[in-house]
Structure 1
Amino acid sequence: MSEPSYSHGTSSTPLLGDTVGANLDRAVAAFGDREALVDVASGRRWTYAEFGAAVDEVARGLLAKGVAKGDRVGIWAVNCPEWVLVQYATARIGVVMVNINPAYRAHELSYVLRQAGISLLVASLAHKGSDYRALVGQVRGSCPDLRETVYIGDPSWDGFVAGAGAVPPGRTAAIAAELSCDDPINIQYTSGTTGFPKGATLSHHNILNNGYWVGRTVGYTEQDRVCLPVPFYHCFGMVMGNLGATSHGACIVIPAPSFDPAATLRAVQEERCTSLYGVPTMFIAELNLPDFGSYDLSSLRTGIMAGSPCPVEVMKRVVAEMHMAEVSICYGMTETSPVSLQTRRDDDLEHRTGTVGRVLPHIEVKIVDPATGVTVPRGTPGELCTRGYSVMLGYWDEPEKTAEAVDPGRWMHTGDLATMREDGYVEIVGRIKDMIIRGGENIYPREIEEFLYGHPKIRDVQVVGVPHERYGEEVLACVIPLDPADPPTLEEVRAFCADRLAHYKAPARLRILDAFPMTVSGKVRKVELRETYGG
């Protein structure tokens, strides 16, 4: 009889009981002279001692603006040192930092400002053609809680920091002493595909421990230098990246304000980074640079790939050509701080590409029948659920939506279809909503994508279900060709599938694209592919 699809992570090392601020204080005391933060674009650097002092200065600047514990401060900015300073400064004084997607326009910005009740906003001046000052001006009248906006790289930021002088230096320590590690300190809006996004509310305990355990699993010490081209506004950057680094005394390296493959590899080379983060499309872009071979990446040993599955061929090149022999795959979601499952340093190539790892210490996972909620046997597909310290406090001010996602047993329902192997490793087979049902047959896009990556004319592929009058749905393959001048035809793709995939899984339709629509965090927007090409 097969074991149930349930696993929990055990460890003799306890969870951290610190707040984020107290944990940073420990790092400053232990690693004061070591580098904590490097911004390659501006050339600015901070040791841990300097970083701790800068965080305290920003925290006092916030207090001077009348911000108090529990108040919400928004951060709407590209990756920069100020983003990191605001992250740690808000946590130090118990203020709830609200991450705002840099791609948001006026409508989305207005919703988040109002829904979270943001009183102070810290923003970039501009990003990819968006004038942030103008956008804030458009929405200010509809956001009664917003008192003031401080712009990074503007005199308003300088004035904000200078305001720290009006607050006694010991004030932040006095506030910090009264904080609980279970206090909410972060709201991250999940990019909903329907309706407005929901604000996942996370505590010190949630995100500090998750960053710590992700970093511990890849073996971080104070010797590590972590290159972060992933956005800070997302858990990948601010939790797995920033908190993963500082909780082990490692150095945060910011290669550029937003992802640039050449700037990323330059930063790894110049700063002798030992770890590099990214979603698979980022690694693909780096590997495909015409001058990729000219970068010295020999300092790398590890890194984290997450966000979507990694094709086998890409993983082989990352390990062999980028020197990332210990690269780790992580799986999670914003609502779980984010990581629940992670591959280990010594896992083989098959586990790193065929699975998303096994459960982290102090976390439980199970796979259930979506209809009954009963745990299924290992090897059987079902919905992945997770429970433990990492599960969010709830969606901000939305108890009904919280109850829909987190059941009475405190299990977070991920919406992902998965199977658990006999060894406890988990394979993601798709989203419940992405599963294609063709004439009663369940089709998992991930399986077809992995297969089509082996086609000699295909660089990247995404598979979605589109409406079909007779079968309900049929399979559409959206392909980025290896050579745009010689893209594959539908006949070639179907011939490649013949005798190797069940006939109903072979793509019925094909679209050749230059690029996929992406979220800012690097995930392909399958819903947009369906809407655009499903007609």
Structure 2
Amino acid sequence: MSNPFHHDYTHFDDVLRFWAKKRPDQTALDQDGRTTSYRDLDQNTRRIIALFADHGIGKGDRVAWLGKNSDLYCQLYMASARLGVVVAPVGWRLAPPEIGYILKDTGAKLVFAGEEFVDIAKRVALTLDTKPTVIGEMEARAAIAAQTPAEDYAKADPTDPVLQLYTSGTTGNPKGVMLSNANLFALRNPGNAANLPWNHYQPDDCMLAAMPCAHIGGTGLINIAIANGIRCRVEAEFNPLGVLEAIEQGATHMFIVPAALQMVVQHPRAAETDFSNMRYLLYGAAPMPLELLKEVVRTMPDTGVMQVYGMTETTGTVTHLPPDDHSIDGNERMRSAGKAVPGVEIEVRGSDGKAAPLGEIGEICVRSPTNMSGYWNLPEATTSTIDPDGWLHTGDAAIMDADGYVYIQDRIKDMIITGGENVYPAEVESAIYGHPAIAEVAVIGIPSEKWGEEVKACVVCKPGHELDPNDVIAYARERVAPFKTPKSVDVIAEMPRNPSGKILRRQLRAPYWEGQERQVS
């Protein structure tokens, strides 16, 4: 299989120039009937560079996007990547205090907002010392169209950060993960050199981007599509019917979390959908239950199904479980997250920092050219995550087999993944802790048929107080995003603790996970 893109480009400026010449009329972005060709994408991103200049924004400055997935965001991202401006997409499901924290942390001078988020963006902007300018989507599109495409601009150095994705932190506040052009392109060439079939794209292929752009699983797909000169079909947000329609209309590749995939294959329309276009379906953020895989294979018999594992800090995928390792009858390897992709080194390390013996549990550590530049303004967090030898410590506990397959066992950091969204207990606990009747709180993830995991709060009352669980849920909902809000609350007499007084979340979780194969749903 030949790949037309043999050039070792590692920069969006070069990529956009290349495809504007090679496939000027090919659709690059497609959303709600709006199409942007590669010629348009090259011109529009230069117009955005001119717009940035008008607002005094240049290399190293931050701009933010608050909105759902949008072809406008894609173009802001590409323009930033060409120039070395850093774009920070903000999760639209977040509560106003969370949005405010991220906008303040970025120091963004400009906030672009989807129309339905303009009011909240303006309200939050007023509370910030930086007083960013908020530009709504309609206004932005008009302002961009009125610009003359910039010609003379210094393009970003390959290692300059251009994308800043926020990942929830175990300490409560999210951290800005800085990714550069070099990070975004680093594994392309090793994958092509290894002749991985799923690394080769046909000119009429189409990447479906339905996962949120504030996650690497959303923006990462835009990245892959544009790098390969194919069409990127942008869905504002995931919904099962939208995915089924996109597949019928030519989507050939997609990434989806298992909880969302279940909604797709069980949708009434799935039975009459023609899935023959879909070449590769990537899933991740949680393992694929065998019964769901069987349903997927029955529904999409000609699709290659592949599990991927990675994190924001590794620019996404660092291990894969290829289609050949998936079997309709189930097999041992399907319990794994696969093995390192070409160009990546994986080690499972014991508490002594040395590689653990095969089959013994340890922490997944990753050395990859895709490892982030670092956390924005958090040098200590950066050095505690990436060691001096360049190994990034993921916080995921796993065992490795003799063939290099990694079996994730649990989360060292207690993270909960609900419907593909990461929730850190500490963040939810600090939101609930101020409730006047609560003495102590611990947040855990429990199994959920629909979401993989759901958030549960275990609380101890202050003496002389009583608690209504619904009141706790309502209190949390005002302070954190709905997906972080507990779905249920247990009022307990006391917290289980270890000798040093640390709450044993694992002990609180145990009764709910009995009979499950592992502590990660």
Do both share a fold (TM > 0.5)? yes
Contact 1:15 1:209 in 2 (8 A): no
Q: Distance in 2 between matches of 1:217 and 1:196?
A: 40
Identify the residue that residue 115 of structure 2 maps to in structure 1: 125
Select 2:15's aligned residue among 7, 23, 29: 23
- Does residue 383 of the first structure (1) align with residue 363 of the second (2)? yes
**Structural mapping, 1:51-450, within 5 Å:** 51-126=41-116, 132-152=117-137, 154=138, 156-165=139-148, 169-171=150-152, 174-176=153-155, 179-210=156-187, 218-221=198-201, 222-239=203-220, 241-254=221-234, 256-269=235-248, 271-323=249-301, 325-349=303-327, 350=331, 353-369=334-350, 371-434=351-414
Q: Distance in 1 between matches of 2:326 and 2:69?
A: 33
- How many equivalent residue pairs? 432
- Does residue 532 of the first structure (1) align with residue 480 of the second (2)? no
Q: 1:375 to 1:291 in 2, by over 3 A?
A: same
Q: Distance in 2 between matches of 1:478 and 1:321?
A: 25
Q: 1:376 to 1:95 in 2, by over 3 A?
A: same
Q: 1:121 to 1:481 in 2, by over 3 A?
A: closer
Contact 1:329 1:357 in 2 (8 A): yes
Letter in 1 for 2:489: T
- Using the size of structure 1 for normalisation, the TM-score is 0.74
Q: Distance in 2 between matches of 1:290 and 1:29?
A: 43
Q: Distance in 2 between matches of 1:315 and 1:307?
A: 15
Q: Distance in 2 between matches of 1:124 and 1:354?
A: 40
CA RMSD of aligned residues (A): 3.2
CA shift digits 1:144-203 (9 cap, x unpaired): 334311111x3x2244214523xx6413xx322xx3111111111102254100111111
2:165 match: secondary structure: strand
Contact 1:227 1:252 in 2 (8 A): yes
CA shift digits 1:415-450 (9 cap, x unpaired): 101111111111111201349xxxxxxxxx99xxxx
2:72 match: secondary structure: helix
Identify the residue that residue 439 of structure 1 maps to in structure 2: none
2:304 match: secondary structure: coil
Identify the residue that residue 459 of structure 2 maps to in structure 1: none
Contact 2:256 2:283 in 1 (8 A): yes
Contact 2:254 2:282 in 1 (8 A): yes
Identity of aligned residues (%): 27
Gap runs ≥5 in structure 1: 1-12, 127-131, 436-444, 447-463, 465-472, 483-516
Letter in 1 for 2:172: G
Q: Distance in 1 between matches of 2:97 and 2:41?
A: 35
Q: 1:523 to 1:357 in 2, by over 3 A?
A: farther
Q: Distance in 2 between matches of 1:352 and 1:99?
A: 35
Q: Distance in 2 between matches of 1:290 and 1:213?
A: 41
Q: 1:225 to 1:481 in 2, by over 3 A?
A: closer
- Using the size of structure 2 for normalisation, the TM-score is 0.76
Pairwise CA distance, 1:16: 4.4
Contact 1:417 1:431 in 2 (8 A): yes
Q: 1:207 to 1:15 in 2, by over 3 A?
A: farther
Q: 1:234 to 1:476 in 2, by over 3 A?
A: closer
Pairwise CA distance, 1:30: 2.3
Q: 1:272 to 1:534 in 2, by over 3 A?
A: farther
1:317 match: secondary structure: helix
2:65 match: secondary structure: strand
2:268 match: secondary structure: coil
Q: Distance in 1 between matches of 2:334 and 2:348?
A: 20
Q: Distance in 2 between matches of 1:136 and 1:524?
A: 20
CA shift digits 1:377-427 (9 cap, x unpaired): 111111000012111111100111112211222211101011111111111
Gap runs ≥5 in structure 2: 418-424, 426-441, 452-475, 493-521
Q: Distance in 1 between matches of 2:52 and 2:33?
A: 26
4+ runs of 1 displaced by more than 3 Å? Answer: 13-17, 210-217, 475-482, 522-525, 531-535
Q: Distance in 1 between matches of 2:59 and 2:126?
A: 25
Pairwise CA distance, 1:24: 2.3
Letter in 1 for 2:12: V
